[in-house]
């Protein structure tokens, strides 16, 4: 058994110290009865960057994300967001759900404004905010539609707009693009890169897809299967500045995808 700690891949170990850390998880363990989902997992998420959690199904990615969100309590260990210990959900974090989690009886605008509604923001004010984010995610004109009238991709945009509308510093995204078709997904990935650039927010992004992780991330954390811990942290560096159209052809991009696949394939058998 290879007892991996944060391993030496690329250039990370030296670079880590250079970033301001927005979220850090320390020695997180989580048991569900007999099932050990996470074991002594420590990971840091740099401010203003996008970190992907990549790993095989059932390895505890969602569990980790929910612990950071304050929706689940870790069995041991702790999470800090901006230096503050997490004890529950807070205004500094917003969640984008894999299954959208929209309110079917509420219109798009009410769904997007829901986080603000719960915070007691006055109706006209929150609808104005919601409207601008609806526009930003490309759903202008659908304010009064109901979720069942939208496609899967449009529903996820509503989920994204809802998370953006509360203006949290940290966005937690659980496989947000897994339920949409390949073309929409590529468009979302490009949009996400844009968001990371101009939103000064910290993104924590769970995905199954190696290509997606490498494409959108400043940092990819690879998790081992249960009980889960971080096996490697990879920081794609050279192709980030080359424009969204060239990334998929970049040799470093292809190398990293390959490298991750090599290290993960033994767990798939």
- Three-state SS for the chain is CCCCCCCCCCCHHHHHHHCCEEEEEEEEEEEECCEEEEEEEEEEEECCCEEEEECCCCCCHHHHHHHHHCCCCCCEEEEEECCEECCCCCCCEEEECCCCCCCCCCCHHHHHHHHHHHCCCCHHHHHHHHHHHHHHCCCCCCCCCCHHHCCHHHHHHHHHHHHHHCCCCEEEEECCCCCCCHHHHHHHHHHHHHHHHHCCCEEEEEECCHHHHHHHCCEEEEECCCCECEEEEECCCCCHHHCCCCHHHCHHHHHHHHHHHHHHHHHHC
Name the minimum Å distance from CB 58 to ligand ATP. Answer: 4
Separation of alpha carbons 84 and 43, rounded Å: 16
The correct pick among 32, 105, 261, 267 for binding ligand ATP (CB under 6 A) is: 32
The correct pick among 28, 50, 81, 94 for binding another protein (CB under 8 A) is: 94
Name the minimum Å distance from CB 266 to ligand ATP. Answer: 17
Contact between 111 and Mg ion per CB under 5 A: no
Q: Hey, which residues between 30 and 69 contact another protein (CB under 8 A)?
A: 66, 69
Q: Hey, which residues between 156 and 215 contact another protein (CB under 8 A)?
A: 162, 166
Two tokens at 4?
């991996």
Binding partner at 91 among another protein, ligand ATP, Mg ion, none, C-beta below 5 to 8 Å by kind: another protein
Contact between 229 and ligand ATP per CB under 6 A: no
Contact between 61 and ligand ATP per CB under 6 A: yes
The correct pick among 90, 153, 225, 227 for binding another protein (CB under 8 A) is: 90
Contact between 60 and ligand ATP per CB under 6 A: yes
Residue count, binding to Mg ion (CB under 5 A)? 1
Contact between 82 and another protein per CB under 8 A: no
Judged by CB under 6 A, which stretch of 57-65, 126-134, 153-161, 191-199 contacts ligand ATP? 57-65
Binding site for another protein (CB under 8 A): 66, 69-71, 89-91, 93-95, 97, 99-107, 114-115, 117-119, 146-148, 150, 155, 162, 166
Binding site for Mg ion (CB under 5 A): 62
């Amino acid at each position: 058994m290879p007892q991996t700690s944060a391993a030496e891949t690329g250039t990370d170990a030296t670079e880590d110290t250079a970033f301001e850390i927005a979220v850090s998880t320390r020695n997180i363990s989580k048991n569900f009865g007999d099932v050990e989902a996470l074991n002594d997992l420590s990971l840091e998420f740099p401010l203003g960057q996008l970190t992907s959690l990549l790993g095989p199904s059932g390895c505890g990615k969602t569990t980790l994300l929910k612990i950071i969100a304050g929706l689940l309590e870790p069995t041991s260990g702790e999470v800090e967001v901006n230096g503050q210990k997490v004890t529950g959900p807070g205004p500094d974090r917003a969640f984008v759900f894999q299954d959208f989690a929209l309110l079917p009886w509420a219109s798009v605008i009410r769904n997007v404004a829901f986080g603000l509604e719960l915070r007691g923001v006055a109706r006209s004010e929150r609808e104005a905010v919601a409207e601008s984010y609806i526009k930003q995610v490309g759903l202008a004109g659908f304010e009064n539609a109901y979720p069942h009238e939208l496609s899967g991709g449009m529903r996820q945009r509503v989920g994204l707009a809802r998370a953006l509308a509360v203006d949290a510093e940290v966005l937690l995204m659980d496989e947000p693009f897994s339920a949409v078709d390949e073309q929409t997904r590529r468009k979302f990935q490009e949009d996400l890169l844009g968001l990371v650039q101009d939103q000064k927010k910290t993104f924590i992004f769970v995905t199954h897809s190696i290509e997606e992780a490498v494409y959108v991330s400043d940092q990819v954390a690879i998790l081992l299967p249960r009980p889960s811990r971080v096996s490697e942290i990879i920081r794609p560096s050279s192709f980030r500045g080359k424009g969204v159209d060239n990334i998929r052809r970049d040799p470093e991009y292809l190398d990293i995808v390959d490298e991750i696949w090599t290290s993960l394939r033994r767990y798939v058998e």
